[in-house]
Structure 1
Amino acid sequence: MPTVDQGVDWGDIPTWLSSIATVGALLFAALAALAAQRVYRIESERDRVNAEQRKEQEAYLRRTQAALVSAWWGHEAGAWGAFVRNASETPVYQASLTVLDVHDPDVHERVDLPVIPPAGEPMFRPTGLTDGGGAGADYRVEITFTDSAGARWIRDQQGRLSELRPEVVIWADERRARALRGFASEFLATHGVKVRFRTGRIEALRDDLLGGQEAPDILVGPHDWLGRLVRAGAVEPLVMSQRRREGFLPEAVAAMTHQGELYGVPYALDTAVLLRHTGLAPEQPATFEELLATGQALRAEGRADEVLAMQVGPDGDAYYMYPILVAAGGRLFDRNRGGVLDPSAVAVDAPETVAAFDRFRDLGARGTGVLRREIDRERATELFAAGRTPYLICASRVLADLARAGLPFAVGPVPPFEGFPAVRAFSSVHGFFLTRHGPNKTIAQDLAVHYLTRTEVALALYEAQPRPPALRLALEQVVDTDPRVAAFAAECRNGDLMPSVPEMPDVWRLLGRAEADLIAGADTAATVRQLAQGLRSALGARRSAPAPRAGV
């Protein structure tokens, strides 16, 4: 009879015991590893906390002496001046006292003290400044010094104490860096700090700041960056009194203000204008048609190669195209009730703007060929400087080079097409932004707000790179001496401030692309339709309401 299998053979007892022991060993090893990892984490966290505590203690000890050094404005024995006191037990060295008028950067005085010994009572250093109307309320004293351990400190005019880093870092394009280098170095040398510039295309520098890899102390750039920089938390508001703000053109302050906060120190104005070679075109054209006729006649006579030079390039350059669009009766945005351009009201597909784009397209490859994508920034400038075109639509960047070359030229507005009102181009305000994560913010603010805003510095910056200054006193002086700068400044002030919403880089990119396509001969209706869709998508904007031509 067959034997019935009663179950599975699970092996003998020794094998089972061996297996259990192996599993137990593995579990014990795993538990031991987890415990070791936990101990490691605890020890690592303890080391980190201890390191932070040591760092805090070291920082506290470093500040102990510095916190006992102070300076203030006051009166003694019939004179006004600066009091300074070192209440610590050891001397401080290389001290510099700067007396500042809170409202007027042109009023200042500096006192250098090689050493400030410990003392129970403050020392008094009289200055040549008056008492500010009897109360001395308009003056503050800033002091920089080196403590006994070799660390450099600044106590600013509000009394805030900060340790100075060895250098202030400024990001700017090469041209602005050259203009700023000497003045920044002179100022910072008085505080025992050096200046270091990083130069490049300003758009690339802006993008690097927004990328968060590193941050300068000061970024130089145009105001239309502001919305994007503020939204990213890359810049912070500046401290500037109302009376000092009034020393600038009101539109310059408005350009650097976002949601009621001043985020930049205005430096200079700029816009797109018509430069006219007076040897070829002695008179300012009244209309765009007159401009074209003059240029075409000169080209027919062999005296010019181009009717008009304007940088376009393969991707377009909408900043310079915009005044022609306005000249032809078009508009990018409608205005709000206050008369300010409103980026939420896109008007590029309004009938009158479509007609303006048609006029612009006629200047390209499928029309008169006046504008070409082959003409980039360098080529446009070269043509004008060589006297091979009577007109150049450009901004201030070329003024100094043309003047040094002795070229006979004049500055005027881009003229409107016949039957349209005067052109209001976009105006930009360039300035100094204080970054939120800059390592040397206290001295950087002092440099931007209290030094670079002095009239003598603004005039010197103008000499290095002629742009209409945003500082009233400096502007008044330069317009009295140079009619071309006076005309340029008038166009800057006549223009519309560029919007500074965060999406402005997208606006310029889309408009530049449409410009390049139209010059190449693309269909106007299709190009404008695509542009309008892109702008509304980028801006979250609505369709513009119809507007009369005279309201452009």
Structure 2
Amino acid sequence: MKKAFSLFMMIMLVLGVLAACGPNREEATSTENEGSNKAGEEPAKPEKLVVWEDTDKEVALEPAIEAFEKEYGIKVEYKTLGMADKIRDQLRLDGPAGNAPDVVTLPHDQIGQVVVEGLISEIEVEQDVLDTFTESSVSAQMYDGKLYGLPKATETPVFIYNKALMDKAPATFDELYTFSKDFTKGDNYGFLALWDNYYFAHGIMGGNGAYVFNEENGALNRDDVGLNNEGAVRGAEYIQQWYKEGLFPKGIIGESGGSAMDGLFNEGKVASVMNGPWAFQAMKDAGIDYGVAPLPTLPNGENVKTLMGVKGWHVTAFTENQYWATKLVEFLTNEESAKTRFETTGEIPPVKSLIEDPIIAENEAAKAVAVQSSYAIPMPNIPEMAEVWSPMASALQQIATQKSEPKAALDSAVDTIQKQIETNHAK
């Protein structure tokens, strides 16, 4: 009995000591609330943030940086690299080495791959920030239901014509075909397009019913490739017709096709082209008085369904300043910064308030891009898209040179795409 009593007293003594050492409920609640308040506060400001911008676009970045530094007292440094490939490739090297920037710009179709590789981070912004932009431009910054950046510019191919050679933009491709048949002689061409490149060919094929990956429940199904369906074949047959009848020169097929086409247009030998906003400056420099319009409607009455590219700002996965890097991304894409970017680079901002602004609404080129974008679809940004470009380029070149019938070439391309997806992208 004594032993039992002694054991009971020892247990009570230990419990008393533990109770004395522990905080009371009020103190615990107070501490928890204090922690919550601190969590909501801004973290300490870094001395500087580093940005990687696209080549030759720093003219738009510098005033935005100056305004950000003035408002937040954080120094921002930048360097320029080719956005299409150099930034992603350099980030793969500099990130693990500890030399990565805080913020980078990338084309939206690379988002899926860089997310999978762990190169950029998901960001969180308020809804009113997202409401600043067009819905399609925001969706282009999403991957697997998460937001990985904010859009800074959108672009899609449009119809560009030399006003000295063509009075006005044709309303239909039938009209354009007739014009080209009459105009094309020697080194002069009525219309040129890089239809051996799927980025441009999609407009024709997509307008006839082709698709890259079918969308199901808001996600792209990599196993449902629509690049050899009836619409795709019909579009490819139309593409082949232009090459077969000599309306396109052989020199614009392959990797050097873009520079060859640009050269012919800027020399005044081509009446019209299918090209994008990136070509405007060279045309101005060449002294071409050019007009810009949405692309003519297809023979089936449908609009050309171009692919749309969206450039964005992204927070890298290697930054130690996630909060402030996100603040910088918000600042670089706000209305003032977007307007400055348009004024200095001609890049079209997907900022809703600016689309109705006279600076864009009264600008023929900007308006054409905005209208054509309404018919366009964002390029698929899932990693499997990387397997599409090369097989489709090979197929389209076979079609353009009449070395293969469209159906056979597209069947072969889709077979290759599906095999490469299975090999390189395990589920």
- Both proteins in one fold, TM over 0.5: yes
| Distance verdict in 2 for CA 1:417–1:244, change over 3 Å | closer
Corresponding position of 2:409: 527
Q: 1:347 aligns with which of 226, 229, 238?
A: 226
2:137 aligned with 1:252, yes or no?
A: yes
Change beyond 3 A, Cα 1:418–1:196: closer
Over residues 138-186 of structure 1, what are the superposed CA-to-partner deviations in whole Å (9 max), with x where a residue is unaligned? xxxxxxxxxxxxxxxxx9x942424524x43322321333421342244
Classify 1:275/1:341 alpha carbon distance in 2 versus 1 (closer, same or farther; 3 Å): farther
The equivalent of 1:135 in structure 2 is none
CA distance in 2, matches of 1:395, 1:200: 17
The one-letter code matched in structure 2 to 1:529 is D
Structure number with the bigger relative contact order (C-alpha 8 A, sep ≥ 6) is: 2
SS at match of 1:216: coil
Distance in 2, Cα, partners of 1:277 & 1:356? 26
CA distance in 2, matches of 1:290, 1:466: 30
Deviation string 1:96-131 (CA, Å, 9 cap, x unpaired) is xxxxxxxxxxxxxxxxxxxxxxxxxxxxxxxxxxxx
Distance 1:341 1:387, change over 3 A: farther
Please say if 1:446 is aligned against 2:290.
Answer: no
* Whole-angstrom CA distance in 2 between matches of 1:169 and 1:272: 32
2:292 counterpart of 1:418: no
Q: Which residue in the other structure is 1:398 paired with? A: 279
Larger displacement relative to structure 2 (349-358 or 245-254): 349-358
Tell me which residue corresponds to 1:433: 314
Match of 1:187 in 2: 68
Tell me which residue corresponds to 1:506. 387
User: Of 347, 350, 354, which aligns to 1:470?
Assistant: 350
Match of 1:236 in 2: 121
- Alignment partner, residue 164 of structure 1: 46
Distance 1:292 1:340 in 2: 37
- TM-superposed CA distance for 1:359, in Å, is 2.6
Match of residue 325, structure 1, among 188, 197, 205: 205
2:396–2:409 contact (8 Å) kept in structure 1: no
- What code does the residue aligned with 1:243 have? D
Distance 1:169 1:474, change over 3 A: same
Q: Against the structure 1 CA distance between its residues 322 and 482, is the aligned structure 2 distance closer, same or farther, given a 3 Å change threshold?
A: same
For residues 51-94 of structure 1, give each alpha carbon's deviation from its aligned partner in whole angstroms, at most 9, with x where no partner exists. Answer: xxxxxxxxxxxxxxxxxxxxxxxxxxxxxxxxxxxxxxxxxxxx
Q: Secondary structure at the match of 2:153?
A: strand
Task: Determine the C-alpha separation between the residues in 2 that align with 1:461 and 1:217.
Answer: 21
Deviations 1:362-400 (A, max 9, x none): 333x54251531653233223223321111111111234
Map 1:109-258; keep pairs closer than 5 Å: 158-162=40-44, 164-165=46-47, 167-188=48-69, 191-211=73-93, 212-213=95-96, 214-258=99-143
Shift of 1:531: 0.4
CA RMSD of aligned residues (A): 2.9
Query: Equivalents in 2 of 1:285, 1:168: separation in Å?
Result: 49
1:287 to 168, 172, 177: 172
SS in 2 for 1:503: helix
Find out whether 1:306 has 2:189 as its counterpart: yes
Find the counterpart in structure 2 of residue 31 from structure 1: none
User: Counterpart in 2 of 1:120?
Assistant: none
2:203 counterpart letter in structure 1: P
Specify whether residues 513 and 182 from structure 1 end up closer, same or farther in structure 2 by C-alpha distance, changes over 3 A only.
farther
Which of residues 234, 237, 246 in structure 2 aligns to 1:358?
237
Change (3 A) 1:391 1:158: farther
1:288 Cα offset (Å) = 2.3
Q: Deviations over 1:289-315 (max 9, x none)?
A: 321321232233x7x622323347xxx
SS in 1 for 2:374: helix
Find the aligned partners of 2:275 and 2:140 in 1 and give their Cα distance.
21
- Fraction of identical pairs, as percent: 21
Specify which of 242, 245, 263 is matched with residue 148 of structure 2. Answer: 263
CA distance in 1, matches of 2:197, 2:172: 23
Name whichever of 225-234 and 331-340 sits farther off: 331-340
In structure 2, the residue matched to 1:46 is none
* CA gap 1:370/1:161 in 2 versus in 1, 3 angstroms: same
Structure 1's 516 and 438: CA in aligned 2 closer, same or farther, altered over 3 A? farther
- What TM-score, normalized to structure 2? 0.79
Equivalent residues of 1:343, 1:499 under 8 A apart: no
How far, CA to CA, are the matches of 2:216 and 2:144 in structure 1? 18
- State how far apart, in whole Å, the 2-side matches of 1:491 and 1:178 are: 27
Alignment of 1:67-86 (within 5 A): none
Shift of 1:340: 8.3
Q: In 2 relative to 1, CA 352–254 (structure 1 residues): closer, same or farther, beyond 3 Å?
A: closer
Cα contact 1:252–1:266 (8 A) shared by 2:
yes
**Alignment gaps of 5+ in structure 2:** 1-37
Deviations, residues 227-257 of structure 1 (Å, cap 9, x unaligned): 1122122111222111221111111111112
Aligned partner of 1:386 in structure 2 is: 267
| Residue in structure 2 matched with residue 459 of structure 1 by the alignment | 339
| 1:484 and 2:369 aligned | no
**Could you say which structure has the larger radius of gyration?**
1
Equivalent position of 1:119 in the other structure = none
Contact 2:184–2:247, Cα closer than 8 Å, also in 1: no
SS of 1:309 mapped into structure 2? coil
1:403 Cα deviation (Å)?
Answer: 4.7
SS of match in other structure, 1:461: helix
Counterpart mapping for 1:96-115 below 5 A = none
Q: Distance in 2 between matches of 1:222 and 1:461?
A: 16
- Separation in 2, partners of 1:192, 1:269: 28
Gaps of 5+ in 1: 1-154, 542-552
Compute the displacement of 1:262 (Å). Answer: 1.5
Report the structure, 1 or 2, having the larger helix content.
2
Q: Secondary structure at the match of 2:133?
A: coil
Of residues 250, 257, 260, the one that matches 1:376 is: 257
What does residue 17 of structure 2 align with?
Answer: none
How many residue pairs get aligned? The number is 377
- Residue 416 of structure 1: how far off its partner (Å): 4.1
Check the 8 A contact 2:56/2:80 in 1, yes or no: no
Tell me the secondary structure at the aligned position of residue 447 of structure 1: helix
Q: Which moved more, 1:451-460 or 1:204-213?
A: 204-213
* Greater strand proportion: 1
Judged with a 3 Å threshold, the aligned counterparts in structure 2 of structure 1 residues 256 and 333 are, in CA distance, closer, same or farther, namely same
| Aligned-partner residue type, residue 368 of structure 1 | G
